[in-house]
Amino acid sequence: MAILKISLLVFILSISMYAQWYWQNPLPTGNGLSGISLTDSNNGTVVGENGTILRTTNGGSSWISQTSGTTEWLYGVSFTDANNGTAVGYNGTILRTTNGGENWVSQTSGTTDWLYGVFFTDANNGTAVGNNGTILRTTNAGDNWISQTSGTSEALLDVFFTNVNNGTAVGYWGKILRTTNAGENWVHQTSGTYSNLIAVFFTDASNGSVVGYSGTILRTTDGGDNWVGQISGTTERLMGVSFTIANSGIAVGYNGIILRTTDGGDNWISQTSGTTDRLSDVSFTDANNGTAVGNNGTILRTTNAGDSWVSQSSGTTDVLFEVSFTDANNGTAVGYNGTILRTTNGGDNWISQTSGTTEWLFGVSFTDANNGTAVGGYGITLRTTNGGINWTEQISTTSNILNGVSFTDANNGTSVGYYGIILRTTNGGENWISQTSGTSYELRGVSFTDANNGTIVSMLGTILRTTDGGVNWINLTSGTTERLEGVSFIDANNGTAVGYNGTILRTTDGGNNWISQTSGTTDALLDVCFTDANNGTVVAENGTILRTTNAGDSWVSQTSGTGYDLRGVSFTDVNNGTAVGDNGTILRTTNGGTSFFEEKVIDEIPKTYRLSNNYPNPFNPSTKIKYSVPQTSQVQIKVFDVLGNEIETLVNEEKQTGTYEMTWYTENLPSGIYFYQLRAGNFVETKKMVLLK
């Protein structure tokens, strides 16, 4: 028995992490990065667009995405050691961690002004600055933030302290403010410029540098009593500056510019960054080791004082328009300039393939792991029969742009495009035959469920339908004049079309009748994919992802983690799906995109099935749910709204004997009453919880 207890104790220490949608390209993220804080050559944190927080503990060899609990843009971050850090951003957002970012807790800033910069001198004392001359001060690690008088209404963009008392803030129109008493008084200094000043760095109370618009660099050696303009050699906007000692420093900015000085700024020398992306911030831990971050998820690393910079980001940033998976592992994405990416392991790796064209590819359809077709600009049609190892151009009989393609087997396929063009093949594209659409509109999306039954969507709510493989196309009544972008049918009768202004249309009779559904958004919906009659996902502009598990009776917004437009989506089953879009974005889910939650096993051996009350309750934005399984069972935990609509499936798998506790995060759900239900064996129990925002 003693041996049994020991083995159980080993088991209970395991922790499982369940992500919602996670980045596969570019890596570690494609979101814009705005701020960085390094505490030593190994430990660093980066923040940015859409609540992005990345963490490294190995000098950037790997960056791990952390859960911020917000979708606000985070602009500034400051760590005083490997554990204690604070991030600030839009709408007065302030986040705090005391365990290296494993958990980020929202703090009350008392303002909705955007906060751009933050600096802590120790774990307790810190200052944040932002719009409208906002200055906030804490002396207790952010438990309380007190507003200070800045004496200006101009936006303050950065702040730096050399000790608890001495600090400098900079901002628009050449504003420089100085305090020597922890912000009780802020004194305006003469900068000698009206350029916007974006970043400030001091090595001690006397020596500091400021950078900003039009290549502006200012230098002081007397704590700011005098600021002297330096020659940067550029007119690019400079966004970040970091010094390791009084004389040695780096400045970064637009178009990938990196400037280096070793004489206190008397001379600034341009370095090769290897990128044209805007660099937003830079941080050095010693004279040699530094990191710069910027747009499109750019992360650059140097270990030799900037003599060379190595990208820690990977993957394409070309826009991806469409993606097609045939099973959970095998998928292909297409996009700008003939881009074709291929994965055979569910997107853990995406390999670039040679398309043989620089035309934009807008559509792709695979029927199995080997056979696929891509279409695009100027009637380009590409075919592969070996999983993309070789792509062969086919004669499409048109020079019009082709927007979409749908194959039901290796031979039968249809492509659609500009000016009402419809092309049909019954031999894998060896021959493409033009069909009569009856319209001159640009045809956007196409979906066939078998060789005969297919649907096309277009401008002004146009929906075309065929039941004879395109010999005849019938114009259906959609009930809308909105532009329709995507369509998905799972059989001859059940289908969904999506488009501009959040339009979602549903049919259960092959399109004879279309019913408008409530999407909850006015975003342009760009693609849709259903795996069965009930489960479907829509992707849209601004990173919007919508999910239904009840055939569209209700659509729930999911957290994508990006603000980039998402243009294509492909699911092979209820759980496994991929979305693609602007900036090379590839997002992946293996749990249907349900809300992020963590689950751990507790040191308890239960005797009965049990579902405990969630806590806290009411909650925002997360709550804990504990349940017990006395024997190995197939366990299902679902969440429903007050009308009984299924919102999410949190657990649907076999569980070993044990007591489990999960933390469920609900950033995108509205306030209200929800019910969570445990089903295991013959046991069923339901409890109520309240989300209060």
In the CATH scheme, what architecture does the domain 31-311 have?
A: 7 Propeller (2.130)
| CA-closest candidate to residue 593, choices 563, 618, 573 | 573
Contact 588, 21 (CB under 8 A): yes
Q: What is the pLDDT of residues 556-575, one digit of tens each?
A: 888 898 999 999 999 999 88
Write the CB contacts of 656 (distance below 8 Å, at least 6 apart in sequence).
11, 629, 632
* pLDDT surpassing 60 at residue 3: no
* pLDDT surpassing 50 at residue 7: no
Compute and round to an integer the Cα radius of gyration of the chain. 28
The average pLDDT across 641-657 equals: 80
Output the pLDDT for position 9: 30
Residue 591: how many CA atoms within 13 Å on its side-chain side?
20
pLDDT-based confidence at residue 595 (cuts at 50, 70, 90): low
Higher pLDDT, 23 or 596: 23
Output the pLDDT for position 598: 60
Write the CB contacts of 247 (distance below 8 Å, at least 6 apart in sequence).
261, 262, 263, 264
| CA-closest candidate to residue 207, choices 222, 186, 227, 225 | 222
In the three-class reduction of DSSP (H, G, I as helix; E, B as strand; rest coil), residue 674 is classed as: strand
Higher pLDDT, 656 or 33: 33
The average pLDDT across 467-490 equals: 98
Q: Give the start-to-end residue ranges of the domains of the chain.
A: 2-11+596-691, 31-311, 320-465+474-589
Q: What is the pLDDT of residues 398-410, one digit of tens each?
A: 999 999 999 999 9
pLDDT-based confidence at residue 597 (cuts at 50, 70, 90): low
Output the pLDDT for position 687: 95
Full DSSP string of 237-280: PEEEEEESSSS-EEEEEGGG-EEEESSTTSS-EEE--S--SPEE
Rounded CA gap, 77 and 53, in Å?
Answer: 10
* Mean of the per-residue pLDDT values of the chain: 93
Contact 147, 135 (CB under 8 A): yes
Rounded CA gap, 658 and 626, in Å?
Answer: 11
* pLDDT surpassing 50 at residue 18: no
Rounded CA gap, 149 and 544, in Å?
Answer: 39
The average pLDDT across 636-665 equals: 83
Residue 461 falls in which region: left (phi positive, over 0), alpha (psi -120 to 50) or beta: left
The two domains 31-311 and 320-465+474-589 share their CATH topology (first three levels equal) = yes
Output the pLDDT for position 590: 82
Q: What is the DSSP letter of 150?
A: -
| CA-closest candidate to residue 563, choices 589, 544, 587, 537 | 544
Of the chain, the percentage scoring pLDDT greater than 90 comes to 83
Burial 644-675 (b: 16+ CB within 10 A, else e): eebbbbbbbeebeebbbbbebbbbbbeeeebe
CATH 3.30.930.10 holds for 2-11+596-691: no
* pLDDT surpassing 60 at residue 14: no
Output the pLDDT for position 10: 30
Q: What is the pLDDT of residues 141-193, one digit of tens each?
A: 999 999 999 999 999 999 999 999 999 999 999 999 999 999 999 999 999 99
Contact 406, 413 (CB under 8 A): yes
The pTM score is 0.83
Q: What is the DSSP letter of 339?
A: -
Contact 179, 137 (CB under 8 A): no
The helix (run of H) or strand (run of E) holding residue 11 is: helix 2-12
- Sole residue written with tokens 């060789």: 451
* pLDDT surpassing 90 at residue 670: no
Pairing state between β 53-56 and 340-343: unpaired
* pLDDT surpassing 60 at residue 315: yes
Output the pLDDT for position 664: 84
Rounded CA gap, 249 and 203, in Å?
Answer: 10
| CA-closest candidate to residue 95, choices 134, 48, 165, 161 | 48
The average pLDDT across 40-44 equals: 94
pLDDT-based confidence at residue 599 (cuts at 50, 70, 90): low
Pairing state between β 545-548 and 217-220: unpaired
In the CATH scheme, what architecture does the domain 320-465+474-589 have?
A: 7 Propeller (2.130)
Output the pLDDT for position 326: 97
pLDDT-based confidence at residue 642 (cuts at 50, 70, 90): confident
Contact 635, 597 (CB under 8 A): no
Backbone angles phi, psi at 12, to 5 degrees: -70, -15
Higher pLDDT, 230 or 668: 230
* pLDDT surpassing 70 at residue 603: no
pLDDT-based confidence at residue 632 (cuts at 50, 70, 90): confident
Contact 522, 504 (CB under 8 A): no
Task: State the distance between the two ends of the chain, measured CA to CA, in whole angstroms.
Answer: 48
Residue 223 falls in which region: left (phi positive, over 0), alpha (psi -120 to 50) or beta: left
Rounded CA gap, 502 and 214, in Å?
Answer: 41
- Sole residue written with tokens 């493989």: 469
